[in-house]
Structure 1
Amino acid sequence: LQELCPRKQPFFGFPRSKSMVLGELSRLSRPCSPLEQEKALKAGWLRRQRSIMKNWQLRWFVLRTEALYFYKDQDESKAQGCIPLQGSQVNEVPSNQDDPVRHLFVIVPGSAGEKDRSGVGHESFLLMANSQSDMEEWVRAIRRAIWAPLGGGVFGQHLEETMTYEAQCGTPREVPVLVEQCACFIREHGLKEEGLFRAPGQTNHVRELQDAFDRGEKPVFDSSTDVHTVASLLKLYIRELPEPIIPFSKYTQFLSCAQLRKPAMRGKAKASQMRNWTKVQTAN
């Protein structure tokens, strides 16, 4: 931690959800080959609510950086329609006692209820997943797609992408801002705390902080912030990295360093690996 150290968002209100009218959004639809689907950020089955009948249709959804496309079948090459993501927000819909089994989330375009220059009306899009965990995965993936170009979406993002963006937008750092901020706070407030990194933090607060960082914000840890919450946030960030902190490509080299018998040689070899790794990250 010493080496690393140098708001709650209100629920976004949305109007009564209406599904997209395919004719209105046909201009956004484009052919998509199975090969392109393989390169998608995420793909899977979801149910969407139709605008007039209010019934549910099962469709194959493919998430890309610019939009969420849907197909009648997994093998279809042409999308039936899409949901544009730029400027949008995605929120989980709280379950109610009358229908607790539905795992719903809504995508709200940035200009909900308004019309763009083409005259296309923007409505909220209500979707249903098969399970709570599936719904949460979709929400996280869509948020990453929305906020990654703006410096957000850091949870589940490759370290190289995070470091590249932060270097372009500010002073180059050795670690992501989130890691540095957490490490500094833990070093200042938690080194003598019993159960550090073992005791769980406040789940709701961890979720709020995660959402804030994923929106590209830089939330401030003040004196009222629980150190276990910050530690849990850091653990969550590391756990959701697509690749371990020591990447698979460097695993053998670092393992060889650890197997050296003499401490001095071990330290020198590890330092050399770290320097070489840092050069690669900087070059990328």
Structure 2
Amino acid sequence: LFSFTSCFVVRSKSLVMGENRGPNPDKTLFPLQQEQSLKSGWLKKRRNIMKNWQQRWFVLRGQELRYYKDKEESKMQGCISLQGFQVLKVNPQPEEPNKYLFEIIPGDKVTVNHETFLLMANSHHEMEDWVRAIHKVIWAPFGGAVFGQRLEDAVSLETRHAPLVVEQCVDFIRENGLQEEGLFRLPGQATLVKELQDTFDSGGKPTFDKSTDVHTVASLLKLYLRELPEPVIPFSRYQDFLRCLWTDTSTATMP
């Protein structure tokens, strides 16, 4: 409630009172603005009354999606509090195939703001990135947003030695894939990998059965490791591992 109210207050004061609080008042008055941006970029937002499109600079921070007139974020035009919302891709109409649309709408629970937001990206790739980023923010408090999460955070939240997705993939591969030719080299079914990723990111716990393609599970595990913010071998220990390799190599070549 506070996050939505604070956004509304900033919007109201800037429009009604015409206050001039310097080059970036949002950053000086509200600590939330100082949070690291999870994603930012240009999107078009459809106005609810006029139904025309306005280009705005969108910034995803914390549980909020804010939008501005310019890239410098000098004046906030509005704020979408994502708690209780869901994000959906919108299928383009046949007469408008090049519109890459997605929508932020209220979820099953009653929210403070019942408004829906229709947004348009510049490309299909950009639309997919925005939907994925917003989806992770929405589901993070419910045990989702698994992919792209810091490894130590995932272990802490799940109270286990390794994230569930890693345990399930490793157990399945150990039982069904050790004799499989091309393991971790041949790609799995891209559509199924995406579906499994979305399920884990939504807080679900999918299971694999005997009919599941082992290359798909291996691809899912590789995707998880690839999206870690920091590799399994952390940057701070990278040189240490290299020194171990050099030491082992030099020892092996000694007469």
Question: What amino acid is the match of 2:40?
Answer: A
Aligned equivalents of 1:247, 1:211: Cα separation in 2: 26
Residue of structure 1 equivalent to 2:139: 147
Equivalent residue runs for 1:28-177 within 5 Å: 32-33=26-27, 36=33, 39-111=36-108, 116=112, 120=113, 122-167=114-159, 172-173=160-161, 175-177=162-164
Aligned equivalents of 1:109, 1:71: Cα separation in 2: 22
Secondary structure, aligned partner of 1:33: helix
Q: Deviations over 1:14-41 (max 9, x none)?
A: xxxxxxxxxxx73585963289367221
Residue of structure 2 equivalent to 1:26: 8
Secondary structure, aligned partner of 1:143: helix
- The answer to whether the Cα contact below 8 Å between 1:144 and 1:153 also exists between their aligned partners in 2 is yes
Deviates more, 1:244-253 or 1:103-112: 103-112
Higher relative contact order (CA 8 A, sep 6+): 1
Aligned equivalents of 2:69, 2:239: Cα separation in 1: 45
- The answer to whether the Cα contact below 8 Å between 1:84 and 1:109 also exists between their aligned partners in 2 is no
Secondary structure, aligned partner of 2:248: coil
Secondary structure, aligned partner of 2:120: strand
Which one of the candidate residues 151, 158, 165 is aligned to 1:178? 165
Relative to the length of structure 1, the TM-score reads 0.74
Shift of 1:74: 2.0
Residue of structure 2 equivalent to 1:227: 214
Q: Deviations over 1:233-273 (max 9, x none)?
A: 111111111222211111011111112237999xxxxxxxx
Which one of the candidate residues 195, 204, 220 is aligned to 2:191? 204
Aligned equivalents of 2:63, 2:149: Cα separation in 1: 17
Secondary structure, aligned partner of 2:229: coil
Shift of 1:57: 0.4
Cα 1:213–1:72 change in 2 (3 A) is: same
Segments of 4+ moved more than 3 angstroms: 27-31, 34-38, 262-265
Aligned equivalents of 1:264, 1:164: Cα separation in 2: 39
Residue of structure 1 equivalent to 2:239: 252
Q: Which ranges in structure 1 are unaligned for 5 or more consecutive residues? A: 1-24, 266-284
- The answer to whether the Cα contact below 8 Å between 1:33 and 1:78 also exists between their aligned partners in 2 is no
Q: Which ranges in structure 2 are unaligned for 5 or more consecutive residues? A: 1-6, 13-24
- The answer to whether the Cα contact below 8 Å between 2:69 and 2:75 also exists between their aligned partners in 1 is no
Question: What amino acid is the match of 1:90?
Answer: V
- The answer to whether the Cα contact below 8 Å between 1:166 and 1:176 also exists between their aligned partners in 2 is yes
Which one of the candidate residues 202, 210, 214 is aligned to 2:201? 214
Relative to the length of structure 2, the TM-score reads 0.82
- The answer to whether the Cα contact below 8 Å between 1:37 and 1:43 also exists between their aligned partners in 2 is no
Aligned equivalents of 2:228, 2:188: Cα separation in 1: 20
Shift of 1:208: 0.8
Cα 1:213–1:115 change in 2 (3 A) is: closer
Q: How many positions carry a matched residue from both structures? A: 232
- Two-structure CA RMSD over aligned residues (Å): 2.6
Question: What amino acid is the match of 2:139?
Answer: W
Aligned equivalents of 1:90, 1:74: Cα separation in 2: 24
Aligned equivalents of 2:232, 2:116: Cα separation in 1: 38
Secondary structure, aligned partner of 1:58: strand
Question: What amino acid is the match of 1:224?
Answer: S
